[in-house]
Amino acid sequence: MTSTTTAAQATAKTATPFLVRAVVPAYGPGAADGWRRLLTAIPAHAAGARDLDGAWLEPGATVQLPLSALVLAVDHHRDHPEHWEITALRADAEGLAEATRWTRRSPLGRREVTRLRALLAPDAAHHTARTLTAPNRHSGTCRRCGRDLPAGTGLVHHTPTGTVLICPTCPARPAQLPVNIRPGRCAVCSGWVIAKDGIAVLINDSTGNSRYQPVHRTCPEHPLPGPPLTADAWCLDCRTPVPAGTGYWHRGPHHAPGTCTPPPDGLPRWITTIPRNEPAWQTGTVHRIHHVPRPGEPLLPEGLPGGRILADNGHMTVLAHVLDLRTTQRGRTLALVRAATWTEAAPLLAAELDTALKARPDGGTFLAREVIERIHGDRGWVAEITGHDPRHGLARQFLRPQTDYDNADAHGHTGVLDAWTLRPRRVYEVSRPVGPPAKNWREIRRTNPRARVTEEQRAFVRVTADGDIAEITREEAQAWPSAALEWMS
């Protein structure tokens, strides 16, 4: 009998939860203010409320506490400034149970502190409180019924994915609202319903939760699958202009279903971003562009004027005719282009051939030395042009310098030289710091140690037959990897 009783007690003790849910008591009757606190430590010198350690708790909140945790509740009656109600609460399997209570003329005294120290659990220093629900401090809308909840009238549920505000007791929601507040897809025709243009119907989803979904008052014969366009755009399906109000947006602008008209010329069209370092483009002109297809977008056909495939991902350079231009809200300039015809591309192809001949190497075998002095910490760099890049235009391989400190001053502000060996039949981009530095360069460096204090000079260079370093234009640098790859071998 004794062994059975002992085993039952051990089982009951094991089944007792280590963490318990408890509701932090609200202010007592007649109390104007006060505070609630989870006590984790009471220092030896503690003589009042300010000396206690622990997390503050919000009255009315539901929290998760360790078993035997000690919570102190203090209420102050403003009508009677010398009336304080002090209650010590201990967490048990049922929640918070009163351990002791005092009525004082001040918040807390030495006698109460001594009593609280005796009630504190041995492992109190490791106790924490996790808030599960708490009264809302700000006004909001109930997630379940959609009612407006003033501050303090709802409950905020702290979930792993965020916070959810609901009514303590939600009333029965009507099956239909006269006006839909939020836009969305119609529950009947799957067309788009703009805000306040239809009604809202309460529908149960696949997870068993009910939510309001917009419905047209009268479903149109050809509804739009997405929000209507508010500005002119280019259709992602046929690459032709879409006037505002006639198309819809779904991961990009589109014509209304069934209204796309392929261009009559049959030439491929696409949208490209104009590089920031190039002069402004004009409609009707021909430019060499780089194109990388988006996921799901077909590759450009081979045999286009000036077309060359540069990578396996569809990255291609081609001559294109500019049809239209527009600027985005972020300041980028986009161009709607189509593949140029051979007649349109002939002048630019001839100019590129002349540039490629100018960029042809001299056949020299001498190496050259590029030396750049650091100025107050600003250093230069040298990068070899190795091909084309879909994002930066030109692919670069940065070279490691050889550094000479023989003539450097004590602080390394001047006299530090970086040197690179340049080979013939290569094209490089060089960046050099240009002095003098800014007058307040010390203040700039204190604010941002990596900030530049000098101007930057960048240029494209190559080695001549005599071993000299000569600057070339950007057009020549772009022609080098395009038409002269065999010269770099």
Mean pLDDT of 217-232: 89
List of residues 6+ apart from 263 with CB closer than 8 A: 238, 239, 240, 269, 338
Contacts of 336 (CB under 8 A, 6+ apart): 234, 239, 241, 269, 271, 322, 323, 324, 325
- The mean per-residue pLDDT over the stretch 240-259 comes to 89
Q: How confident is the model at residue 7 (pLDDT cuts 50, 70, 90)?
A: very low
Nearest to 319 by CA among 355, 295, 343, 296: 343
Q: For position 71, what pLDDT does the model report?
A: 93
CB atoms near residue 398 (< 10 Å): 10
Position 408 scores a pLDDT of 84
Q: Would the pLDDT of 396 be above 80?
A: yes
The yes-or-no verdict on residue 488 having pLDDT over 50 is no
Domain ranges of the chain: 17-133, 140-216, 263-345, 368-488
pLDDT computed for residue 177 by the predictor? 85
Alpha carbons 249 and 243: distance in angstroms, whole number: 12
Could you read off the pLDDT of 108-134 as tens digits, one per residue? 788 888 888 899 999 999 999 988 888
Contacts for 46 with CB less than 8 Å, ≥ 6 apart: 52, 113, 117
pTM of the model: 0.51
Q: At 227, is the pLDDT very low, low, confident or very high (cuts 50, 70, 90)?
A: very high
Surface-to-core class of residue 408, CB atoms within 10 Å of its CB (0-12 exposed, 13-18 middle, 19+ buried): middle
Question: What's residue 413's pLDDT?
Answer: 81
Tokens linked to 263: 């261009």
Task: Answer yes or no: is pLDDT of 306 > 50.
Answer: yes
Three-state helix/strand/coil letters over the chain = CHHHHHHHHHHHHHHCCCEEEEECCCCCCCCCEEEEEEEEECCCCCCCHHHCEEEEECCCCEEEEECCCEEEEEEECCCCCCCEEEEEEEEECCEEEEEEEEEECCCCCHHHHHHHHHHCCCCHHHCCCEEEEEECCCCEECCCCCCEECCCCCEEEEECCEEEEECCCCCCCCCEECCCCCCEECCCCCCEECCCCEEEEEEECCCCCEEEEEEECCCCCCCCCCCECCCCEECCCCCCEECCCCCEECCCEECCCCCCCCCCCCCCEEEEECCCCCCCCCCCCEEEEEECCCCCCCCCCCCCCCCEECCCCCCEEEEEEEEEEEECCCCCEEEEEEECCHHHHHHHHHHHHHHHHHCCCCCCCCCEEEEEECECCECCEEEEEEEEECCCEEEEEECCCEEECCCCCCCCCCCCEEEEEECCCCEEEEEEEECCCCCCHHHHHHHCCCCCCCEEEEEEEEECCCCCEEEECHHHHHHHHHHCHHHHC
pLDDT digits 0-9 by tens, 134-167: 888 888 888 777 778 888 888 888 877 778 888 8
Q: How far apart are CA 72 and CA 306, in angstroms?
A: 80
Of the candidates 71, 61, 56, the one whose C-alpha atom is nearest the C-alpha of residue 101 is 71
- Residue 60, pLDDT above cutoff 70: yes
Question: Is the pLDDT higher at 404 or at 81?
Answer: 404
Summarize pLDDT for 64-78 with one digit per residue, the tens. 999 999 999 988 877
Say what the pLDDT of residue 430 is: 95
